[in-house]
Structure 1
C-alpha cells in the first residue's frame, strides 16, 4: 500500500507538469487546428533561460534568498518564452493558416529542430546542473510515503496556473473572444474580434506556461539540457489527446491520468513483466495509452465540444 501511495504522489507531480504543458497544445489546436510540436522546445528554452539568470544572480548577489532568486529567474524566463511564442506564430505559422494541414505540421517539426539547434549553439550539448533553490528534503506523509517541498510547489503552482487559465477562458471578455475564434474565424472577425491578436495571445499564454513547466522540471530533477523538452512535450501531447485535444478541462484530466498511470506502472512494471522490464521502461505506458485512445476513442476522455448550426 505504501508503494501505491508513493507512486500516486509521484504521479500527481508528473501529471501536473504534463497537464500544464498539454494546455498549450490544446489551446493552439482548439483555435487553429494545429499541433505545435515546437512547444516542448519552448519549455527547454524557459528552463535554460532561468538557469542563466540564476547563475548570473549567484555571481552578483550570492546572499540573495533562494526563493527570490528563483522568482526572478521565472519572471525573466516567462517573457522570453512568451516573445518566442509570439515570434513563432507571427513568422512561422500565420502565413500557413489557409495552407493544407501537412504544411504547418512540417513547419512545426522544423521549428522544433531549429530551436533545439539554436539552443545547442548557445548552451552547448551537455547537461547543466540546475541549482535546487527549493528544498528537496523529503517530508513524511503516511508511513513511508514522502513528498518534497519542490514537489509540493509544483502541484500548487500548476493548479493555480491551470485554474487561472480556465477562469480566463470561461469568464473573461478575452476568453469569449478566444472561444469565438475557435468556433469560426471569419464570423468572429465579422463580429469585431481581432482574431490575429487572439491567436497570438494563445501562443503567448501557452509559451508562458511552458516556461514555468520547464523550470519546474529542472528544479525537480536538478538537470537542464537542450533535449529536455522533447519527451515532456511528446507526453503532454499524449495527455492532450487522452483528455480530448481542443478541450481545456480534458488536457488537465489527461495530464493527471497519464502521470498517475505512468508512475503506478513504473512502480509495478517489474512485477507485471516478471522481471524482464524495469522502471526505465515507464515511457511504454504513455505511448500505449496514446495508441489505445487513437484506436478506440479518438475524441479522448472528454472530447471536443462541437456544435453545428443551420
Structure 2
C-alpha cells in the first residue's frame, strides 16, 4: 500500500494562515480596545463636560452640525480612491471605512487610524494590499491638497502675528505660504497637462487623476478644513475674524503631525493660545477647544468604535 505524499511546506503555510489571520484579527481588536481606553483615561471628561454645558443649545447645535458635515465630507475621500482604483465595493461600505479610520486617526494617530484600520477593514472586504495602498494614498493626497491651498493662501495674503519668541517672521510665513500654494497648484497643473498618466513606484502603480478629479479633491478638502475651522469659530463666540481661526487651526494641525502626539494632545491648545490667547484670554480659548474636542474627536470616536465592533461581530458571524 502506497504511503501518502508528504504535505509540502507551502501547503502547510496555507493551512496555518486562516488560523493565524483569525488570531491577528483578535489581537487587533484587543489593541484597539486598549487604545480607546487609554484615550478615555487621558481626557479630562469633567472639564470637557463643563465646557460644553456653558454653551447654549443653538451654539452647540451649529457646532455639532458643522462637525457632522466635516466628517461626512472626509468619508468621501475614499470614494475618490474607489473611483480612481476601480474597485467594486459598495459606496456605503467605503464611506463607513473612511469614517471609522478618520475618527480613530484623530484620536490615536495616523498609523493606527489612517493606515492600520484601512488595511484591516478593506482586507476583510476583499481588497488586495496594493489597492488599499492606492486608496490610502489618494485619501492622504486629497486631505493635504486642501490644506496646502488654504494654508498657502492665508499665509501669503494675511500672515498671522506670531509671538516674539517664534523664530519665523512674516516674511518667512509669506515664503512658506507661497511654497504651499505653488505645490497645490503644481499638482492641479500636472493633472491637467501631463502626458504620462501612470508610474510605478516600488511595485505600486500610481495613476494621475484627471483635472476634474483633481479639482474635486481640492474642493472637498478645502470645504472639510473650512468646516473644522467653523466649529472652532462658533465655539469661540465668533469674536475673532474667521480667517484668524482658520490660520490657527491649520498651524495647529501641522504642529500636531510633526509632534506625533495622539489627538495632538496639548499641541493644538498651545498653538491656539499662542495665536489667539492674547485677544480672547487663555481661559475662553481652552474652554472652546475642550468643547471642540468633545464634539469633533470624542463623539465621533464613540460612534466609530461602536460601528467598528458591530462590523467585526457581523463579519465573524458571516
- What TM-score, normalized to structure 1? 0.30
Comparing both chains, which one has the higher relative contact order based on Cα–Cα distances under 8 Å and sequence gaps of 6 or more?
1
Structure with a larger share of its residues in helix: 2
Structure with the greater alpha carbon radius of gyration: 2
- TM-score normalised by length of structure 2: 0.29
